[in-house]
Amino acid sequence: MSLFERLGLAYLQRRDPERAHRLALLALQIGVAPLSGNVTSPRLACKLAGMPLLNPVGLAAGFDKNAQVVAPLSRAGFGFVEVGAATPLPQPGNPQPRLFRLAEDRAVINRFGFNNDGAEAIAARLEKRERTAVPVGLNLGANKTSENRAADFARVLATCGPHVDFATVNVSSPNTEKLRDLQGPAALAALLNGVMEARAGLAQPIPVFLKIAPDLTDDELAQIAGVAQEAGLSGIIATNTTLARDGLRSRHAPEAGGLSGVPLFEKSTRVLARLSHLTEGKMPLIGVGGISSAEDAYAKIRAGAHAVQLYTALVYQGLSLAPAIARGLDALLRRDGHKTLASAIGTDRTRWL
Protein backbone atom coordinates (compact mmCIF):
# COMPACT_ATOMS: atom_id res chain seq x y z
CA MET A 1 0.00 0.00 0.00
CA SER A 2 1.40 3.39 -0.98
CA LEU A 3 1.74 6.25 1.50
CA PHE A 4 -0.91 8.15 -0.48
CA GLU A 5 -3.39 5.28 -0.15
CA ARG A 6 -2.56 4.86 3.55
CA LEU A 7 -3.27 8.53 4.21
CA GLY A 8 -6.46 8.39 2.15
CA LEU A 9 -7.72 5.37 4.08
CA ALA A 10 -6.94 7.03 7.41
CA TYR A 11 -8.95 10.06 6.33
CA LEU A 12 -11.92 8.00 5.13
CA GLN A 13 -12.00 5.91 8.29
CA ARG A 14 -12.51 9.07 10.34
CA ARG A 15 -15.60 9.99 8.32
CA ASP A 16 -19.15 8.68 8.64
CA PRO A 17 -19.13 5.32 6.81
CA GLU A 18 -21.69 6.25 4.15
CA ARG A 19 -19.99 9.60 3.51
CA ALA A 20 -16.66 7.78 3.23
CA HIS A 21 -18.21 5.49 0.63
CA ARG A 22 -19.35 8.48 -1.43
CA LEU A 23 -15.87 10.04 -1.16
CA ALA A 24 -14.26 6.80 -2.34
CA LEU A 25 -16.52 6.82 -5.40
CA LEU A 26 -15.62 10.47 -6.02
CA ALA A 27 -11.90 9.67 -5.81
CA LEU A 28 -12.37 7.05 -8.52
CA GLN A 29 -14.44 9.41 -10.66
CA ILE A 30 -11.88 12.23 -10.61
CA GLY A 31 -8.91 9.93 -11.05
CA VAL A 32 -7.06 10.23 -7.74
CA ALA A 33 -7.60 6.67 -6.50
CA PRO A 34 -4.66 4.25 -6.93
CA LEU A 35 -5.18 1.87 -9.86
CA SER A 36 -2.76 -1.00 -10.41
CA GLY A 37 -3.81 -1.99 -13.91
CA ASN A 38 -4.54 -5.56 -14.96
CA VAL A 39 -3.04 -8.49 -13.06
CA THR A 40 -2.72 -11.86 -14.74
CA SER A 41 -0.50 -14.89 -15.30
CA PRO A 42 -0.85 -18.34 -16.92
CA ARG A 43 -1.92 -19.66 -13.50
CA LEU A 44 -4.44 -16.92 -12.78
CA ALA A 45 -6.07 -16.69 -16.21
CA CYS A 46 -9.20 -18.83 -16.16
CA LYS A 47 -12.81 -19.09 -17.29
CA LEU A 48 -15.93 -18.56 -15.20
CA ALA A 49 -19.12 -19.90 -16.79
CA GLY A 50 -17.46 -19.42 -20.17
CA MET A 51 -16.23 -15.87 -19.45
CA PRO A 52 -12.45 -15.43 -19.80
CA LEU A 53 -10.97 -13.83 -16.67
CA LEU A 54 -7.50 -12.31 -16.32
CA ASN A 55 -7.60 -13.47 -12.71
CA PRO A 56 -10.28 -14.96 -10.41
CA VAL A 57 -10.45 -12.05 -7.93
CA GLY A 58 -13.64 -10.05 -8.42
CA LEU A 59 -15.37 -7.08 -6.83
CA ALA A 60 -18.67 -7.96 -5.15
CA ALA A 61 -21.86 -5.98 -5.68
CA GLY A 62 -22.62 -3.08 -3.36
CA PHE A 63 -19.61 -0.84 -3.85
CA ASP A 64 -20.59 0.65 -7.21
CA LYS A 65 -24.35 0.42 -6.81
CA ASN A 66 -25.17 2.74 -9.71
CA ALA A 67 -22.44 1.83 -12.24
CA GLN A 68 -20.74 5.19 -11.77
CA VAL A 69 -17.10 4.04 -11.70
CA VAL A 70 -17.00 0.95 -13.87
CA ALA A 71 -14.08 2.19 -15.99
CA PRO A 72 -11.63 2.84 -13.14
CA LEU A 73 -12.67 -0.33 -11.30
CA SER A 74 -11.84 -2.27 -14.47
CA ARG A 75 -8.27 -0.95 -14.13
CA ALA A 76 -7.92 -1.68 -10.40
CA GLY A 77 -6.59 -5.25 -10.64
CA PHE A 78 -9.90 -7.11 -10.44
CA GLY A 79 -10.56 -10.01 -12.79
CA PHE A 80 -14.28 -9.13 -12.92
CA VAL A 81 -16.54 -6.47 -11.44
CA GLU A 82 -20.16 -6.68 -10.26
CA VAL A 83 -22.24 -3.52 -9.89
CA GLY A 84 -25.68 -2.96 -8.36
CA ALA A 85 -27.99 -4.12 -6.96
CA ALA A 86 -30.41 -2.54 -9.40
CA THR A 87 -34.18 -2.51 -9.01
CA PRO A 88 -36.75 -1.67 -11.70
CA LEU A 89 -37.62 1.69 -10.11
CA PRO A 90 -35.32 4.05 -8.22
CA GLN A 91 -35.57 3.79 -4.46
CA PRO A 92 -33.88 5.56 -1.54
CA GLY A 93 -33.36 2.49 0.60
CA ASN A 94 -33.71 2.34 4.35
CA PRO A 95 -33.37 5.34 6.70
CA GLN A 96 -29.91 6.44 7.79
CA PRO A 97 -27.75 5.54 9.62
CA ARG A 98 -27.58 2.22 7.80
CA LEU A 99 -23.86 1.43 7.54
CA PHE A 100 -21.60 0.59 10.50
CA ARG A 101 -17.91 -0.24 10.73
CA LEU A 102 -17.00 -2.91 13.27
CA ALA A 103 -13.28 -2.18 13.26
CA GLU A 104 -12.45 -4.52 16.13
CA ASP A 105 -13.99 -7.36 14.17
CA ARG A 106 -12.77 -6.27 10.71
CA ALA A 107 -16.42 -6.33 9.70
CA VAL A 108 -19.30 -4.17 8.51
CA ILE A 109 -23.05 -4.21 9.14
CA ASN A 110 -25.27 -2.65 6.50
CA ARG A 111 -29.01 -2.30 6.07
CA PHE A 112 -29.07 -0.21 2.87
CA GLY A 113 -32.17 -1.83 1.41
CA PHE A 114 -31.28 -1.73 -2.31
CA ASN A 115 -30.84 2.04 -2.57
CA ASN A 116 -30.16 2.76 -6.25
CA ASP A 117 -31.00 4.98 -9.22
CA GLY A 118 -33.18 2.37 -10.93
CA ALA A 119 -32.59 0.04 -13.85
CA GLU A 120 -33.05 2.58 -16.64
CA ALA A 121 -30.47 5.04 -15.28
CA ILE A 122 -28.02 2.23 -14.57
CA ALA A 123 -28.57 0.72 -18.03
CA ALA A 124 -27.81 4.10 -19.63
CA ARG A 125 -24.46 4.25 -17.84
CA LEU A 126 -23.60 0.64 -18.64
CA GLU A 127 -24.46 1.16 -22.30
CA LYS A 128 -21.77 3.86 -22.54
CA ARG A 129 -19.00 1.85 -20.87
CA GLU A 130 -15.95 0.75 -22.79
CA ARG A 131 -15.80 -3.01 -23.15
CA THR A 132 -12.52 -4.34 -21.75
CA ALA A 133 -10.95 -7.66 -20.80
CA VAL A 134 -12.59 -7.33 -17.37
CA PRO A 135 -16.20 -8.64 -17.43
CA VAL A 136 -18.79 -6.42 -15.77
CA GLY A 137 -21.94 -7.89 -14.27
CA LEU A 138 -25.06 -6.59 -12.59
CA ASN A 139 -26.71 -7.66 -9.35
CA LEU A 140 -30.49 -7.85 -9.85
CA GLY A 141 -32.83 -6.76 -7.07
CA ALA A 142 -36.51 -6.14 -6.37
CA ASN A 143 -38.29 -2.99 -5.25
CA LYS A 144 -39.42 -2.93 -1.64
CA THR A 145 -42.97 -1.91 -2.58
CA SER A 146 -43.31 -4.19 -5.59
CA GLU A 147 -46.45 -6.30 -5.82
CA ASN A 148 -44.53 -8.94 -7.78
CA ARG A 149 -40.93 -9.07 -6.62
CA ALA A 150 -40.18 -12.21 -8.62
CA ALA A 151 -41.03 -10.36 -11.83
CA ASP A 152 -38.74 -7.46 -10.85
CA PHE A 153 -35.63 -9.55 -11.39
CA ALA A 154 -36.62 -10.43 -14.95
CA ARG A 155 -37.54 -6.82 -15.62
CA VAL A 156 -34.11 -5.54 -14.55
CA LEU A 157 -32.38 -8.20 -16.65
CA ALA A 158 -34.42 -7.27 -19.72
CA THR A 159 -33.50 -3.60 -19.24
CA CYS A 160 -29.81 -3.94 -18.40
CA GLY A 161 -28.89 -7.34 -19.82
CA PRO A 162 -27.72 -6.07 -23.23
CA HIS A 163 -25.06 -3.94 -21.54
CA VAL A 164 -23.44 -6.41 -19.10
CA ASP A 165 -21.41 -9.61 -19.32
CA PHE A 166 -23.23 -11.50 -16.55
CA ALA A 167 -26.06 -11.05 -14.05
CA THR A 168 -26.72 -12.17 -10.49
CA VAL A 169 -30.13 -12.90 -8.98
CA ASN A 170 -29.98 -11.55 -5.44
CA VAL A 171 -32.66 -13.15 -3.28
CA SER A 172 -30.42 -13.25 -0.23
CA SER A 173 -30.17 -9.67 1.01
CA PRO A 174 -31.50 -9.50 4.57
CA ASN A 175 -32.38 -5.81 4.21
CA THR A 176 -35.56 -6.06 2.13
CA GLU A 177 -38.37 -7.58 4.18
CA LYS A 178 -39.31 -11.14 3.17
CA LEU A 179 -36.88 -11.13 0.22
CA ARG A 180 -35.16 -14.22 1.55
CA ASP A 181 -38.50 -16.03 1.38
CA LEU A 182 -37.83 -16.26 -2.37
CA GLN A 183 -35.08 -18.80 -1.61
CA GLY A 184 -37.76 -21.43 -0.95
CA PRO A 185 -37.78 -24.10 -3.70
CA ALA A 186 -41.17 -23.36 -5.26
CA ALA A 187 -40.81 -19.57 -5.17
CA LEU A 188 -37.21 -19.76 -6.37
CA ALA A 189 -38.04 -22.06 -9.27
CA ALA A 190 -40.78 -19.73 -10.49
CA LEU A 191 -38.54 -16.67 -10.12
CA LEU A 192 -35.62 -18.28 -11.96
CA ASN A 193 -37.86 -19.46 -14.78
CA GLY A 194 -38.90 -15.85 -15.33
CA VAL A 195 -35.30 -14.66 -15.26
CA MET A 196 -34.17 -17.32 -17.70
CA GLU A 197 -37.01 -16.38 -20.06
CA ALA A 198 -35.75 -12.79 -19.96
CA ARG A 199 -32.22 -14.04 -20.59
CA ALA A 200 -33.42 -15.99 -23.64
CA GLY A 201 -34.85 -12.76 -25.01
CA LEU A 202 -31.47 -11.03 -25.03
CA ALA A 203 -29.68 -10.77 -28.38
CA GLN A 204 -26.68 -12.36 -26.67
CA PRO A 205 -27.60 -14.49 -23.62
CA ILE A 206 -25.27 -13.98 -20.69
CA PRO A 207 -24.33 -16.12 -17.66
CA VAL A 208 -26.78 -15.84 -14.77
CA PHE A 209 -25.73 -16.58 -11.20
CA LEU A 210 -27.73 -16.95 -7.99
CA LYS A 211 -26.50 -15.30 -4.78
CA ILE A 212 -27.57 -17.13 -1.64
CA ALA A 213 -27.56 -16.48 2.09
CA PRO A 214 -25.12 -18.14 4.50
CA ASP A 215 -27.88 -18.80 7.03
CA LEU A 216 -29.27 -21.91 5.36
CA THR A 217 -29.58 -25.52 6.56
CA ASP A 218 -28.06 -28.41 4.63
CA ASP A 219 -31.52 -29.42 3.43
CA GLU A 220 -32.20 -25.88 2.18
CA LEU A 221 -28.85 -25.81 0.38
CA ALA A 222 -29.63 -29.11 -1.30
CA GLN A 223 -32.98 -27.79 -2.49
CA ILE A 224 -31.44 -24.58 -3.82
CA ALA A 225 -28.68 -26.47 -5.62
CA GLY A 226 -31.27 -28.69 -7.28
CA VAL A 227 -33.46 -25.77 -8.34
CA ALA A 228 -30.45 -23.85 -9.70
CA GLN A 229 -29.28 -26.80 -11.76
CA GLU A 230 -32.76 -27.53 -13.08
CA ALA A 231 -33.24 -23.89 -14.08
CA GLY A 232 -30.01 -23.96 -16.08
CA LEU A 233 -28.22 -21.30 -14.06
CA SER A 234 -24.55 -20.65 -14.78
CA GLY A 235 -23.46 -20.84 -11.15
CA ILE A 236 -24.00 -19.85 -7.53
CA ILE A 237 -22.43 -17.08 -5.44
CA ALA A 238 -21.86 -18.16 -1.84
CA THR A 239 -22.59 -16.09 0.11
CA ASN A 240 -24.32 -12.83 0.94
CA THR A 241 -24.18 -11.26 4.41
CA THR A 242 -25.28 -13.04 7.57
CA LEU A 243 -27.79 -12.26 10.31
CA ALA A 244 -25.62 -14.07 12.88
CA ARG A 245 -23.68 -12.05 15.47
CA ASP A 246 -21.51 -14.72 17.10
CA GLY A 247 -18.35 -13.57 18.85
CA LEU A 248 -18.44 -9.89 17.88
CA ARG A 249 -16.68 -7.29 20.04
CA SER A 250 -17.82 -4.02 18.49
CA ARG A 251 -20.42 -1.80 20.13
CA HIS A 252 -22.25 -1.86 16.79
CA ALA A 253 -22.85 -5.62 16.96
CA PRO A 254 -26.55 -5.24 17.95
CA GLU A 255 -27.35 -3.15 14.86
CA ALA A 256 -29.86 -4.69 12.46
CA GLY A 257 -28.70 -5.65 8.98
CA GLY A 258 -26.32 -7.97 7.21
CA LEU A 259 -22.88 -8.68 8.66
CA SER A 260 -19.93 -9.00 6.30
CA GLY A 261 -16.18 -9.26 6.74
CA VAL A 262 -13.85 -11.56 8.66
CA PRO A 263 -16.52 -13.07 11.00
CA LEU A 264 -18.35 -14.40 7.93
CA PHE A 265 -15.38 -16.33 6.53
CA GLU A 266 -15.91 -19.76 8.10
CA LYS A 267 -19.70 -19.79 7.74
CA SER A 268 -19.61 -18.77 4.08
CA THR A 269 -16.78 -21.19 3.27
CA ARG A 270 -18.69 -24.11 4.76
CA VAL A 271 -21.71 -23.22 2.61
CA LEU A 272 -19.43 -23.01 -0.40
CA ALA A 273 -17.88 -26.42 0.26
CA ARG A 274 -21.30 -27.95 0.81
CA LEU A 275 -22.51 -26.58 -2.53
CA SER A 276 -19.40 -27.90 -4.24
CA HIS A 277 -20.15 -31.33 -2.80
CA LEU A 278 -23.82 -31.18 -3.75
CA THR A 279 -23.05 -30.17 -7.34
CA GLU A 280 -20.09 -32.57 -7.57
CA GLY A 281 -17.86 -29.66 -8.53
CA LYS A 282 -19.63 -29.32 -11.87
CA MET A 283 -21.37 -25.98 -11.27
CA PRO A 284 -19.24 -22.83 -11.19
CA LEU A 285 -19.18 -21.32 -7.71
CA ILE A 286 -18.02 -17.88 -6.59
CA GLY A 287 -16.75 -17.68 -3.02
CA VAL A 288 -17.57 -14.51 -1.08
CA GLY A 289 -17.38 -13.66 2.59
CA GLY A 290 -14.50 -12.60 4.81
CA ILE A 291 -11.68 -12.66 2.26
CA SER A 292 -8.90 -10.32 3.35
CA SER A 293 -5.75 -12.05 2.09
CA ALA A 294 -4.41 -14.28 -0.66
CA GLU A 295 -4.52 -17.16 1.81
CA ASP A 296 -8.25 -16.58 2.36
CA ALA A 297 -8.88 -16.52 -1.39
CA TYR A 298 -6.87 -19.72 -1.81
CA ALA A 299 -8.87 -21.41 0.96
CA LYS A 300 -12.11 -20.55 -0.85
CA ILE A 301 -10.76 -21.97 -4.10
CA ARG A 302 -9.57 -25.15 -2.40
CA ALA A 303 -13.03 -25.43 -0.80
CA GLY A 304 -14.63 -25.41 -4.25
CA ALA A 305 -14.75 -21.85 -5.56
CA HIS A 306 -13.97 -21.21 -9.23
CA ALA A 307 -13.53 -17.49 -8.46
CA VAL A 308 -13.85 -15.17 -5.46
CA GLN A 309 -15.17 -11.69 -4.68
CA LEU A 310 -14.11 -8.99 -2.20
CA TYR A 311 -15.71 -5.96 -0.68
CA THR A 312 -15.57 -5.41 3.09
CA ALA A 313 -11.80 -5.95 3.35
CA LEU A 314 -11.31 -3.00 0.98
CA VAL A 315 -12.75 -0.75 3.70
CA TYR A 316 -9.82 -1.61 5.95
CA GLN A 317 -7.03 -2.40 3.46
CA GLY A 318 -7.75 -0.21 0.44
CA LEU A 319 -8.15 -0.80 -3.26
CA SER A 320 -4.59 -2.11 -3.63
CA LEU A 321 -5.76 -5.25 -1.81
CA ALA A 322 -7.26 -6.68 -5.01
CA PRO A 323 -4.01 -6.86 -7.02
CA ALA A 324 -2.14 -7.93 -3.87
CA ILE A 325 -4.49 -10.89 -3.43
CA ALA A 326 -4.24 -11.81 -7.10
CA ARG A 327 -0.43 -11.78 -7.02
CA GLY A 328 -0.37 -13.63 -3.70
CA LEU A 329 -2.73 -16.24 -5.06
CA ASP A 330 -0.44 -16.72 -8.05
CA ALA A 331 2.47 -17.33 -5.68
CA LEU A 332 0.46 -19.86 -3.64
CA LEU A 333 -0.56 -21.77 -6.77
CA ARG A 334 3.07 -21.83 -7.91
CA ARG A 335 4.24 -22.97 -4.45
CA ASP A 336 1.86 -25.93 -4.51
CA GLY A 337 2.74 -26.96 -8.04
CA HIS A 338 -0.49 -25.88 -9.74
CA LYS A 339 0.04 -24.83 -13.35
CA THR A 340 -3.55 -23.59 -13.58
CA LEU A 341 -6.19 -22.43 -11.14
CA ALA A 342 -8.46 -25.30 -12.19
CA SER A 343 -6.21 -27.94 -10.65
CA ALA A 344 -6.56 -26.32 -7.20
CA ILE A 345 -10.36 -26.05 -7.14
CA GLY A 346 -11.95 -28.26 -4.46
CA THR A 347 -8.72 -29.91 -3.34
CA ASP A 348 -9.49 -29.22 0.33
CA ARG A 349 -13.28 -29.40 0.20
CA THR A 350 -13.67 -32.21 2.72
CA ARG A 351 -12.06 -30.09 5.44
CA TRP A 352 -15.13 -27.84 5.41
CA LEU A 353 -17.84 -30.48 5.21
Q: What are the catalytic residues?
A: 173
- Segment 221-227 long-range contacts (CB within 8 Å, at least 24 positions apart): 221/271, 221/274, 221/275, 221/278, 222/278, 223/185, 224/183, 224/185, 224/188, 225/275, 225/278, 225/279, 225/283, 226/185, 227/185, 227/188, 227/189, 227/192
Contacts of 86 (CB under 8 A, 6+ apart): 65, 116, 118, 119, 122, 138, 139, 140, 141, 156, 160
Task: Write out the E strands in the chain.
Answer: 46-48, 51-53, 57-59, 80-86, 99-102, 107-110, 136-140, 166-170, 208-212, 235-238, 258-261, 285-288, 307-310
Cα angle: 63, vertex 172, 156; to 5 degrees: 65
Distance between CA atoms of residues 302 and 318, nearest Å: 25
Three-state secondary structure of 117-143:
CCHHHHHHHHHHCCCCCCCEEEEECCC
Please name the amino acid found at residue 120: E
Reduced to 3 states, what is the DSSP secondary structure of residue 347?
coil
Number of Cβ within a 10 Å radius of residue 348: 15
